[in-house]
Chain A
Amino acid sequence: MNPRAETADRLRAALHKEADTVTFTDSDQAVRRLERTMRHNHRRTAVLSAVAAALVAVLVVTGALVLRGDDERREVPVPAAEPAIPLPPPGQRILYSSGGVVFSLDARTGTASELFPGSYPRWSPDGRAIASVTDSGEIAVTDVMTGRSRTVATGGEEPAWSPRGDRLGFVRGKDVLTVDLATGAEEKVATIDAPYVGLADWAPAGDALIIKLDRSAGGEITLHRLPTAGGDPVPFLGGTGDTTGLRFAPDGSRVAFFNEERSCICTATADGSDVQVVHAFDTAPDTAHVSWSPDGTQLLWTEKTTGDLRVISVGTRVTRTVAVAGTSRLSHDWR
Chain B
Amino acid sequence: MTGRADDTATGGVVLPAHRDAAVTALFHAQWGSLVRLARLLVDDRETAEDVVQDAFAQLHRRWGSLRDADAALFYLRAAVANGARNRLRSRKRALARAPLFAASAPAADVAAVEREEQRDVVAGLRRLPWRQRQVLVLRYYLDLTEAEIAATLGISRGAVKSHCSRGIAALSRRLEMAP
Contacts and interface: CB of A to CB of B under 8 A. Distances in A.
B141 A24 contact: no
A19 B39 contact: yes
B58 A306 contact: yes
A114 B150 CA distance: 21
Contact of B53 (A16, A37, A327): A37
A15 B156 contact: no
A17, A157, A327, A330, most chain B CB atoms within 10 A: A327
Interface of chain B: mostly helix, strand, loop or mixed = helix
A8 interface: yes
Interface residues of B, number: 74
A283 B89 contact: yes
Interface of chain A: mostly helix, strand, loop or mixed = mixed
Contacts of B60: 34, 37-38, 41
Contact of B122 (A14, A33, A37, A284): A14
Contacts of A326: 62-63, 65-67, 71-72, 75
B154 A217 contact: no
Contacts of A16: 141
A17 B111 CA distance: 12
B87 to A, nearest CB: 9
Contact of A4 (B28, B75, B141, B168): B168
A324 interface: yes
Contact of B121 (A14, A217, A288, A324): A14
A157 B157 contact: yes
Contact of A305 (B37, B82, B129, B162): B82
A283 B90 CA distance: 7
A10 to B, nearest CB: 5
A17 B31 CA distance: 18
Interface in B47-88: 48-49, 53, 56-58, 60-63, 65-67, 71-72, 74-75, 78-79, 82-83, 85-86
A34 B23 contact: yes
Interface stretch (A179-187, A192-200, A201-209): A192-200
A304 interface: yes
B39 to A, nearest CB: 5
Given A31-B27, A287-B154, A326-B75, A11 B121 contact: yes
B68 to A, nearest CB: 9
A12 B140 contact: yes
Nearest to B128: A218
A324 B86 CA distance: 20
A27 B31 contact: yes
Contact of B117 (A4, A8, A10, A302): A10
Interface of B: 20, 23-24, 27-28, 31-32, 35-37, 39-40, 45, 48-49, 53, 56-58, 60-63, 65-67, 71-72, 74-75, 78-79, 82-83, 85-86, 89-90, 101, 114, 117-118, 121-122, 125, 129-132, 136-137, 140-141, 147, 150-159, 162-163, 165-166, 168-172, 175
